[in-house]
Structure 1
Amino acid sequence: MVTSATARTEKRSVALASVLAAVVMTALKLAAGLLTGSLGILSDAAHSALDLAGAALTWLSVSISDKPADEEHTYGHEKIENVSAFVETFLMVASSVWITTEAVIRIFYHPVVLRFTLWPAGVLVLSIVVDTWRSRRLRAVAARHGSSALEADAMHFASDIWSSAAVLAGLVAAWVGAHFGIGWLRLADPIAAIAVSGLIVRFAWRLAWRTVEALVDAIPAETRHRMLVEVQKIDGVLSVDKARMRRSGNSHFADLTISLSRQLTFQKTEELVREATEAVRRVLPGADVVIHPVPRAGGAESIFDKVRAVASRNNVMLHDVSIQSLGGKLHVEQHIEVNERLALREAHDFVRRIEDEIRQELPQVTSVLTHIESEPATIEEPVMAQLDRELEQHLRNAATQLPEVIDIHEVAVGRVGDKLQLSCHCTLPDELTMQRVHEVITALEDRFKLEAPEVQRVLIHPEPATDNHHH
C-alpha cells in the first residue's frame, strides 16, 4: 500500500522533472524558431513556454494540496489541484489565440521566408520523444494517486506531441516547396501553426470541462447509482433519503441520510451505520463517509411496536403492554416507569402526554390506561442479611403449588433501609412460552407474598431446565 508520504514524494518529483524538461525544450524550440524564422516552431516554443508555466503551477499545487486539513480548509487543500488545472486551460487558449493571429498575418499580409537547417528538425524530434516520456509518466502517477493537476499536465504534454508533429510536417512541406519550386507549399508552416492552435484548443476544452466538473463537485451518475445500490442492499436499511458526494483532489467525501427502523437499539443502529460506511467505501475506496441515521416507522410494525415507539421516543421504560378490542375499538393498558423523585402531578402530566401521542399516532385507539411505576434513581447500598430460612421455606412452599416450577435455588435475602427484598433463580421447562413463564413467575410471587407480606420486593430470574446446574 502506498503511504501518503510516498505519494507526496512521487507527485512532487514527477512534477519537478516536468518543470526541468519544459525549461530545456522551451529554450531549444525558441532557438530553433529564431534561427529558421518558422512560425510553426516559434508557436511550438510559445506553447512550451506555457507548458513551463503550467508545469511550475502544477509543482506548486501538488506541494500545497498535500497539506493536512486545518480550521479554514476543513476538507483539506486538494482542491488547489483542480484550480491549477483550470488555470492551465486559460494558458492553453491564450497561446492558441496568439498562434492563430500570427499565422493569419503571415498568410495574408507579411509572408516570411524560412531558413532551413537540419537541427530544428532534430529539436522537434527530441521534443516529441521527451513529451511522450513525461506525458506517460505524469499520467501513470496521476492515475495512481488521483491527482487532477498531474493529469492536466499529462494532457497538456500529450497535446505537445501532436503539435510538434504538425510543426515538423509543416517544416518539411515548406522545405519541399522551396526546393522544388512549389509556391503554395510556402503556406505549410503557418497552416501547421493553425493546426497546432486547433489541437491546443481541443485539449484545452477537454481539460476545462473536467476541471469545472471537479470544481462544482460533479460526480458521475453511475458512481452515485452504484453507491446507492450497495447501501440499499444492507438488510435493515429502509431507504436512502439523501446522498451527497464530492471530490477534492484524490479524496472523496460522501454524506448520506438513511432511514432505519425506529425499533432498533443504539447498538444495532451503530452496526448498520458501520455496514453502510463499508458499502460506500467499496465504491469509493478510502472515502471520508458520514452517515446520518433517521428513525422511521417500518412497514411491518404492529400496534404493539407503535406503542413502544412512542414510549421510546419519550425515553421511558414500558412493559406489560396489553391491547383489547372493545366494540370494534382498541383499548391500551401499559406500565410505565418514571423517576422515583418525580412528584405525582409531574408524573401524571408526563404520562398523559405519552397517552395523547399514542392516540394521535394510532387513531384506532380510543383509550389508554397507564399504570405508573417508580424507576429507581439512586444506587442502593443493601446491608447483607443472614439467609432467612423461614422466608426461603415460604418461597419453596409457594413453588410446590405450581407444577411447572422444577427447582428454586440461589435464594438471597437482604435489607435496604427497613425494607426486605428477596431474589432467587427459578428453573422451568425449556419449551414453556414466555407468556406462560410470566404467568408462573407472577403467580409464584403472589403466593409467596401471601405467606411473607413483610417482603417488599421480589426478583425471580427464570432459567431453562437444560441450564440448571443446581438440581
Structure 2
Amino acid sequence: MTLAASKPAGTDQAQNSAMKRRVALQSMLAASCMTALKLAAGLISGSLGVLSDAAHSGLDLAGSGITFFSVRVSDKPADEDHSYGHGKVENLSAFFEAGLMAISCAWIIWEAIQRIRSNTFELRYSIWPVLVLLTSICVDFWRSRELRRVAEHTGSPALATDAFHFASDIWASLAVLCGLLATWAGVALHIDWLRYADPVAAIFVSIMILRITTQLTREAVGVLMDQIPAETRMRVIREAERVPGVLAVEQARVRRSGPKYFADLTLALPRSFTFEHTGELVRAATEAVHRALPQADVVIHTVPRQGRAESIFDRIRAVAARNNVAVHDLSVQSHHGKLHVELHVELDETMRLLEAHSFVSGLEAEILREAPEIDSVLTHIESEPATIEQPEEIVEEDRRIEKALRASAARYNDIIDVHQILVGRTAEHITLSCHCTLPDDLSMHRVHEIITALEDSFKLDCPEVHRVTIHPEPVTDNTR
C-alpha cells in the first residue's frame, strides 16, 4: 500500500507568506498610481468629489504601506519576547487603516459642507476626471477581488481590511462620477439644485465608508483585546466534549492573533485513566478542536475527576494510583451489613517494615475517606521486585518439577495442556512459569478458580517452589 506524503506545514506557511506579500505590494503600487491620477484629475476639474476620492486613495496608499509592512512582520515565528508570534500586528494595522479612513471621511464631509454653505465652488469641464474615475473603478475591482481571495485563503485581517478599502473606492468613485456628471448637467441645463450633486455625493460616500469603518475598527479592537465570538468558543467546547472519555470541559480559552487561533482547554478525565490512555485522548481532543478551528495552536491540560459510574473497586484503585502503588487481589466482602476490604499492595523490596506499615496505614485511612461506606480495610504487604533475577538451571531437578506440574494439571478436566514451562532459580528461591490452555468459553471467574487450584495442587507436590506464574490462554489462540 502506498501512502501519499503530506505537504509540510512550514511549506504552506511559506507559500501563504509569499502570497500575502505579493498582493500587498501590488496593492501599494496600484494605490500609488490611482492617487496620483485622481489628484491630477481633481485639480484639473476643481471637483471636490474627485479631490476627496484622491484623498481617500492617498490614505489607502498609506494603509497599503502599513499592510505590506504588517504582513511581513506578522509571519515571523514566535520568539522569546513574543511567545504567541507576531500575528497581532495585522490587527493593529487594520485598526490604523480604519482610523485613516475615518479621518479622510471627516475631512471630506467638512469640506463638502463648507462648499455647500459658501456656494462659491465652480467645476471646470474636462474628460480626464471621467476617464480617471472609470480606470479607478476597474483597478479597484481587480484589487479588491484579489485581496479578498488571498485574505480568505490566509485568514489575514490586514488584507481583508485592505480589500474593503479598494471595494469602498469603487462605490466612492461611482458616487463621485455620478455627482460630477450631475453637476455638469445642472450647469448645462440650468438646473440650479444639481450644482450641489458633487459635494452631496462626497458626503454620501463618506458616510457610507464611515459606517463600515466603524465596524472594522470594532473588530480590530476586539481582536487586540482578545475578544472572540461566543459561538466560536462554544463550538470548540462542543467538539471537545464529543470525544469519548471526556467528562467535561472545565475551562476553554480562545484567542486570535492575526490569522491564527490559540486554544487552551482544561479537560476533566476519569482518574482511572493511565498516562498512555490520557495521551491518546489528548491527541483525539486536539483533532476535535482542529475541526472547529483548523490550524489552531492547541494546548490541553487534563485533571483527574471521579467518573460518572465509578464502583467501589474503582475508587480503591484510584487511591492506590494516587499513591503510586500497585494493588491486586482486591476483594470487598459484606459482613453483617458492613463492608470489609482486603487487598495486596506491592512496595519497594528495600523498604523497612516500620516505613512500609506507616505507608499502608495512611493508604488505608485514605481509602476509608474516599469510600465512607467501607467499615474496615486489611492490607497484605508484598515486596515489589526491583532487581533482575539471574536464574540457574539444574536439568534433572527441572524435569522433576515439570513432571509434577503436568501431573497436577492432569487432575483437572478443563485443562487441555500446559506448555512453555520455565523453571528458574535465584540464590533464595525457585520459580516456575508456564502457559495453560483452557476452553474458549470459560468465564474469567472459572479460569481464575482453575488456575488457583492448579497452583495450590502443584505447591503441595513441590513446596520448594516459591512462586508460580500461570498464563491462561484459549484453545483458538494456542501458539505452541
What TM-score do the two structures reach when normalised by structure 1? 0.94
Please tell me whether the aligned partners of residues 185 and 194 of structure 2 are also in contact (alpha carbons under 8 angstroms): yes
- What does residue 342 of structure 1 align with? 351
What are the Cα deviations for residues 183-214 of structure 1, in whole angstroms up to 9, with x where unaligned? Answer: 33322222222222212212211211222232
Structure 1 residues 466, 95: closer, same or farther in 2, change over 3 A? closer
SS at match of 1:299: coil
The match for 2:391 is 382
Aligned match for 2:72, one of 55, 60, 63: 63
Shift of 1:386: 2.4
Counterpart in 2 of 1:304?
Answer: 313
2:469 alignment partner, one of 459, 463, 466: 459
1:291 alignment partner, one of 265, 279, 300: 300
Percent identical across equivalent pairs?
Answer: 59
Q: Aligned equivalents of 2:67 and 2:96: distance in 1? A: 10
2:28 aligned with 1:10: no
Alignment of 1:94-105 (within 5 A): 94-105=103-114
Post-superposition offset of 1:140: 0.9
Equivalent-residue separation in structure 2 for 1:176 and 1:403 (angstroms): 113
Partner of 2:183: 174
Where 1:349 maps in the other structure, the secondary structure is helix
Give the aligned partner of residue 332 of structure 1.
341
Where does 1:83-94 land on structure 2 (aligned, <5 Å)?
Answer: 83-94=92-103
Cα distance between partner residues in 2 of 1:409 and 1:13:
73
Pick from 202, 216, 230 the counterpart of residue 221 of structure 1: 230
Partner amino acid for 1:445? E
Equivalent residue, structure 1, for 2:365:
356
Q: Is the 8 A contact 1:332 1:368 kept in 2?
A: yes
Between 348-357 and 403-412, report the one with greater CA deviation: 403-412
Please list the CA deviations of residues 237-260 of structure 1 after superposition, one character each: whole Å capped at 9, or x if unmatched. 222222222222222222222222
Q: Is the 8 A contact 1:339 1:375 kept in 2?
A: yes
Task: Give how far 1:350 is off.
Answer: 1.1
1:318 is aligned with what amino acid? Answer: V
1:436 aligns with 2:443: no
2:204 maps to what in 1?
195
Question: C-alpha separation between the residues in 2 aligned to 1:431 and 1:36?
Answer: 98
Verify: 1:409 aligned to 2:423, yes or no: no
SS in 2 for 1:237: coil
* 1:372 alignment partner, SS class: strand
State the SS of the aligned residue for 1:112. coil
- Range 398-407 or range 167-176, more displaced: 398-407
Moved more, 461-470 or 377-386: 461-470
Question: 2:4 maps to what in 1?
Answer: none
- Counterparts in 2 of 1:174 and 1:445: CA distance versus 1, 3 Å: same
Distance 1:134 1:469 in 2: 71
Rounded to whole Å, the distance in 2 between the matches of 1:10 and 1:395 is 76
Against the structure 1 CA distance between its residues 107 and 469, is the aligned structure 2 distance closer, same or farther, given a 3 Å change threshold?
closer
How many residue pairs match? The answer is 470
The aligned counterpart of 2:215 is 206
Once the 2 structures are TM-superposed, how far is the Cα of residue 110 of structure 1 from its aligned partner?
A: 6.2
Query: Does residue 158 of structure 1 match 2:180?
Result: no
- Could you tell me which runs of 5 or more consecutive residues in structure 2 were left unpaired when the two chains were aligned: 1-6
State the match for 1:131 in structure 2: 140
Q: 2:416·2:438 contact (CA, 8 Å) conserved in 1?
A: yes
Question: Does residue 446 of the first structure (1) align with residue 446 of the second (2)?
Answer: no
Give 3-state SS (helix, strand or coil) of 1:236's partner: coil
Q: Distance in 1 between matches of 2:96 and 2:48?
A: 25
In 2 relative to 1, CA 238–469 (structure 1 residues): closer, same or farther, beyond 3 Å?
closer
The alpha carbon displacement at 1:50 in A equals 0.3
1:386 and 1:413 in contact (8 A); partners too:
no
Alignment check: 8 A CA contact 1:387 1:412 kept = no
Verify the 8 A CA contact 1:159 1:203 in the aligned structure 2: no
2:247 alignment partner, SS class = strand
Look up the equivalent residue of 1:215 and give its one-letter code.
L
1:231 to 231, 240, 251: 240
Asked if the contact 2:390/2:425 (under 8 Å) is kept, the reply is no
Instruction: Provide the rounded CA distance (Å) in 1 between the counterparts of 2:115 and 2:421.
Output: 110
1:135 Cα deviation after fit: 0.9
CA distance in 2, matches of 1:190, 1:429: 97
Q: Secondary structure at the match of 1:458?
A: strand
Q: Amino acid of the residue matched to residue 128 of structure 2?
A: W
1:431 positional shift: 2.8
Among candidates 143, 159, 174, match of residue 152 of structure 2:
143
Unaligned runs of 5+ residues in structure 1 are: none
Conservation of the 8 A alpha-carbon contact between 1:387 and 1:413: no
Q: Is the 8 A contact 1:173 1:185 kept in 2?
A: yes
Q: Is the Cα–Cα contact under 8 Å of residues 79 and 215 in structure 1 kept in the other structure? A: yes
Q: CA deviation at 1:387?
A: 4.9
Do the aligned partners of residues 433 and 190 (structure 1) sit closer, same or farther apart at CA in structure 2, a change above 3 Å counting?
same
Q: CA RMSD in A?
A: 1.9
Could you tell me how far apart the structure 2 residues matched to 1:195 and 1:387 are?
108
**Residue in structure 2 matching 1:261, options 249, 267, 270:** 270
- Cα deviation code 1:141-171 (max 9, x no counterpart): 1111111111000111111111111211221
What SS does the aligned partner of 1:384 have? coil
Distance (Å, rounded) in 2 between the aligned partners of 1:190 and 1:425: 97
1:379 deviates by 1.8
Task: Give the deviation of 1:469 after TM superposition.
Answer: 5.8
Of 78-87 and 291-300, deviating more is: 291-300
CA separation in 1, counterparts of 2:166 and 2:135?
13
Per the alignment, in what secondary structure is the counterpart of residue 469 of structure 2? strand
The residue identity in structure 2 corresponding to 1:205 is: T
